Structure 1
Amino acid sequence: MNVAKNGETYDLKYAKKAMLVVVILPLLVMYTEAMLTPALPTIQKEFMINPNDVSWILTIYLLVGTVSVALFGKLGDMYGKKKMFLIALAFYTTGVSLNGFAPSFQWLLVTRAVQGVGMAIFPLAFALVREEFPPEMVPQVQGMISAMFAVGMVIALPLGAWVTQNYGWRWTYHSAAPFAILMFFLAWKVLRESRYINPGKVDWIGALLLTVAVVPALVGVTRAPNIGWTARQTLVLFGVAVVGAILLVPWERKAENPLIPLDIISARNPVIVNIGIMFAAFGISMMSQADTYILQMKPPFGFGKTILQSGILMTPMAAVMLVVAPLAGKVMPKVGAKPLAMTGTLTASAGLVLLSKYATQLPLWEFVTLITIVGTGITLMNISLINVLVFSVSPRVMGVATGANSLFRNFGSTWGPAVAGTVMSTYYILFHPPGTPSFVQIKIPTSKAYEVLFGASAIIFLLLAILTLAIVEVMKGGKIKDVENKGEEEMAN
């Protein structure tokens, strides 16, 4: 069945098949990535490395992925989004398949870097959704994608702990590899090539400058909690990143076919969404780290739950998000993306204020209820912002727009754990675990640490609520304002 909307024809039968692919995608990726977290201590022991080294298993994936999302987004606009999506997914599948066979820590880092290239599948998938789905379906599909992120995380954390404990960390990847391969063939068979292609030369100098601006900054942020924020190495890394950013901006302004067209990402709605997503990711990652510690620290410092129990306790949040996300996508065209974004940010902020005051004093069920409320607010905000973005940018440059958005998201996600680790290392008490030698002491975050983390996150989401006031509404009363027909100039005013 074909439907004509705004001068474009959409195949609903195909759209529903494609929806299956893009909705399963975040479930697979979150399953793969979250299963790794409980396995890190086991990997550290097997390869006989220190905690700082083992953190690179996460860092290398993020470093490569942050550059990849911007580069592949642009290449998708130039050569076809399906083509680049399959190439990125091939990298991801190869990395996942090889990780479990790594003979050394160095080889594991190489295969994780290969996997990181595949992070570009997300901006390309978001761009394909915007191109191939009727406008009124896009918010619903984006809602389902958001819900799958939460479901994948909740499933993977306890499952990853169980697999690692019973079969070893390598099986966390062995169990994921067949699904990644199946996903590749499903995408190759089902997806169609994008209808908008803008041929041109690749901006390799822009890619190099972006790498210089991004990679040192992320390395500096990752290492700062261990070596110090004012250490010489940290300052040098930040300095190199600043120089790279300073050189990148004028080059992209004059480049014939810029990697990151500044006029697109600096337009009113895109810049609000990118800043909002970056700070939201920062607040979410800080909050998540605090949640993990509270659930797993022994009383009176926490609830003393295992990784498996912690995952189960997060199930209510995932269940609510699974319902709220697609429902929000369905009602969004009627009520507007802006009111939902405002509702989400204020809900998250209010819940975080309560957590900052009472987190360590609450009964377990009240704590779970509060993090579920916060998760619901974050879901509403995320769905609203991504829909604001995809309806504020022409489909012809959607790969660039979603790639840049993923880059900003990664920046926020990297800063969050680093700042959270610093806060927890600032407000702590020394604890002697029973049954261990007298000289063994571990740092336990105090209630002040949680107050700072949850409180800072609450302020961030309150500021985001204010920021959403500046959004130009893209949908309301059942009508979606299509930038392709209205013109980007009007949307920017």
Structure 2
Amino acid sequence: MQVNTENRAYDMAYAKRAMMVVVVLPLLVMYTEAMLMPALPTIQKEFAINPNDVSWVLTIYLLVGTVSAAIFGKLGDMYGKKKMFLLALSFYTIGVVLNGFAPDYHWLLVSRGVQGLGMAIFPLAFSLVREEFPPSMVPQVQGMISAMFAVGMVIALPLGAWVTQNYGWRWTYHSAAPFAVLMFFLAWKILRESRYINPGKVDWPGALFLAVAVVPALVAVTRAPNIGWTAGQTLILFGIAVAGFVILTLWERRVENPLMPLPIITSRNPAIVNVGITFAAFGISMMSQANTYIFQMIPPYGFGKTILESGLLMTPMAAVMLVVAPLAGKLMPKVGARPLAVTGALTASAGLVVLAKYVTQLSLWQFVGMITVVGTGITLMNISLINVLVFSVPPRVMGIATGTNSLFRNFGSTWGPAIAGTVMSTYYTLLHIPGVPVTIRIPTSKAYEVLFGVSSAIFLLLALLALAIVEVMKRGRIMEVEESGEKEVTVS
């Protein structure tokens, strides 16, 4: 059925108010998370812990958040996405508040775990956007959400370094807490409950099997660069994860109301998006770690910039993404999601080839220009993939579809730094810096060549993978998947 007056079914005034909530949300989360990065050495000193221990401040958030994204997504489908969104946001807010008052290391780990429960806000927000916004508006809103991730990172990194240096690491959380409370209030007042409810019995065994499949794998990947990829502990954790995955798959095939409905997750477009977002997150995080070292290592091994200066040098990339993302969302219904995904992946791949080949020969501003090109390509691809996903599944299972997608994204994001750390530990030179009592390892140009080269190959493969997408938009028409089949919507 073709519908030319799609906006009549939606409250446009409400859509614009709700858009402000979901678009500002990434700013809050990236502000909170990126501000933590410069504070990790200070936390390590205050609590007298070793580097492996302090890494768990990041890891515990990721472990809890990866599982909670899938579970809360399913619960949102069953009980209402606004209810679950507010519950997840309340966990996130409580965690942020408690972090700043942590009297010891174990308190901080527990409060970071509570905060990790709130990671489910993003798949639920993506679901609400798809469900409550006019189809023509969805790509633009998704584009703005993606752009705000980059903007939040650029703001928070230098600001976090400044706050930690002048006021202490606790103020990175104290400064974020009022904004988290404000976001909860705005979401409670503005957002409406989702119109699609899919009640049923909660698949708690499935949630347990999911945790067994996910948590050991993420712990193994996080610890492997330090204890070894072939260490007994690493292999045991991977073995437990594989067993958990097999049990989860067998269980979900036979249970009446599965936590992760396999026919939905493994159908063509969702499967392509999930695989694509995993490898994209892997390539992005690996490239980001290389960028950090190049900015901050002393010449001739890098540009010798501070954390503050490094954050400011990423401003051009964030500014371009802030412009490109909503424009791509507006253009997407006319040209299609698939062409933009392919274009974005090829653009990122080409930029990474240049970085791999000429990284040691580029000036500072040439390097900034190239990472801006890569960032633009990644933005185009990510926006395309999330829109392909949300228009390829029925609204009644949108929560679990986007929650599962977040799970795959986190897997890729975890593997990236682990592999990057292994590569930089393989290709290094020893350097003694005056005033530093120990000799330190500095990644060589070969390490960057490998990291950028592998990332380039990944995005080239993603371009080929994107060619297999079944188009959901073309010539101003968006194909929505409804309970009774597809519905064609004309976008004016």
Listed as ranges, the matches of 1:371-382 within 5 Å are: 371-382=371-382
Q: TM-score, normalised by structure 1?
A: 0.97
The question of whether the paired residues in 1 share the 8 Å contact of 2:348 and 2:373 is answered with yes
For 2:361 and 2:47, the matched residues in 1 are separated by: 40
Change (3 A) 1:488 1:164: same
The question of whether the paired residues in 1 share the 8 Å contact of 2:348 and 2:378 is answered with yes
The question of whether the paired residues in 2 share the 8 Å contact of 1:92 and 1:114 is answered with yes
Listed as ranges, the matches of 1:4-19 within 5 Å are: 9-19=9-19
**AA at the equivalent of 2:276:** G
Correspondence for 2:409: 409
For 1:485 and 1:188, the matched residues in 2 are separated by: 28
Correspondence for 2:306: 306
Deviation per CA, 1:108-162: give whole Å up to 9, x if none.
0000000000000000000000010000000000000001000000000000000
For 1:448 and 1:454, the matched residues in 2 are separated by: 10
Instruction: Report the secondary structure of 1:64's partner residue.
Output: helix
How far off is 1:7 after superposition? Answer: 10
How far off is 1:13 after superposition? Answer: 0.5
Mind listing any 5+ residue stretches in structure 1 that lack a counterpart? none
Instruction: Report the secondary structure of 2:441's partner residue.
Output: strand
For 1:171 and 1:426, the matched residues in 2 are separated by: 37
How far off is 1:215 after superposition? Answer: 0.1
The question of whether the paired residues in 2 share the 8 Å contact of 1:89 and 1:184 is answered with yes
The question of whether the paired residues in 1 share the 8 Å contact of 2:6 and 2:134 is answered with no
How far off is 1:250 after superposition? Answer: 1.0
Deviation per CA, 1:243-302: give whole Å up to 9, x if none.
000101010011110000000010000000000000000000000000000000000000
Deviation per CA, 1:287-324: give whole Å up to 9, x if none.
00000000000000000000000000000000000000
351-360 or 282-291, larger mean C-alpha shift: 351-360
The question of whether the paired residues in 1 share the 8 Å contact of 2:479 and 2:487 is answered with no
How far off is 1:435 after superposition? Answer: 3.0
Correspondence for 1:166: 166
Deviation per CA, 1:56-111: give whole Å up to 9, x if none.
00000000000000000000000000000000000000000110100000000000
Correspondence for 1:418: 418
Correspondence for 1:330: 330
Instruction: Report the secondary structure of 1:55's partner residue.
Output: helix
Correspondence for 1:463: 461
**AA at the equivalent of 1:342:** V
Change (3 A) 1:436 1:254: closer
Asked whether 1:343 is paired with 2:343, we answer yes
For 2:335 and 2:270, the matched residues in 1 are separated by: 20
Change (3 A) 1:345 1:486: farther
For 2:482 and 2:470, the matched residues in 1 are separated by: 15
For 2:350 and 2:436, the matched residues in 1 are separated by: 41
How far off is 1:485 after superposition? Answer: 7.2
Aligned pairs, number: 486
The question of whether the paired residues in 2 share the 8 Å contact of 1:392 and 1:488 is answered with no
The question of whether the paired residues in 2 share the 8 Å contact of 1:4 and 1:10 is answered with no
How far off is 1:486 after superposition? Answer: 7.1
Change (3 A) 1:457 1:199: same
For 1:474 and 1:451, the matched residues in 2 are separated by: 37
Mind listing any 5+ residue stretches in structure 2 that lack a counterpart? none
Change (3 A) 1:81 1:355: same
Correspondence for 1:289: 289
Correspondence for 2:441: 443
The question of whether the paired residues in 2 share the 8 Å contact of 1:213 and 1:241 is answered with yes
How far off is 1:167 after superposition? Answer: 0.1
How far off is 1:229 after superposition? Answer: 0.2
Listed as ranges, the matches of 1:192-341 within 5 Å are: 192-341=192-341
Correspondence for 1:63: 63
Q: TM-score, normalised by structure 2?
A: 0.97
**AA at the equivalent of 2:94:** T
The question of whether the paired residues in 1 share the 8 Å contact of 2:71 and 2:207 is answered with yes
For 1:124 and 1:485, the matched residues in 2 are separated by: 19
Deviation per CA, 1:388-414: give whole Å up to 9, x if none.
000001111100100000000000000
The question of whether the paired residues in 1 share the 8 Å contact of 2:394 and 2:483 is answered with no
The question of whether the paired residues in 2 share the 8 Å contact of 1:15 and 1:133 is answered with yes
Instruction: Report the secondary structure of 1:125's partner residue.
Output: helix
Change (3 A) 1:118 1:167: same
The question of whether the paired residues in 2 share the 8 Å contact of 1:154 and 1:312 is answered with yes
Moved over 3 A (4+): 3-8
The question of whether the paired residues in 2 share the 8 Å contact of 1:294 and 1:360 is answered with no
How far off is 1:436 after superposition? Answer: 3.6
How far off is 1:487 after superposition? Answer: 1.9
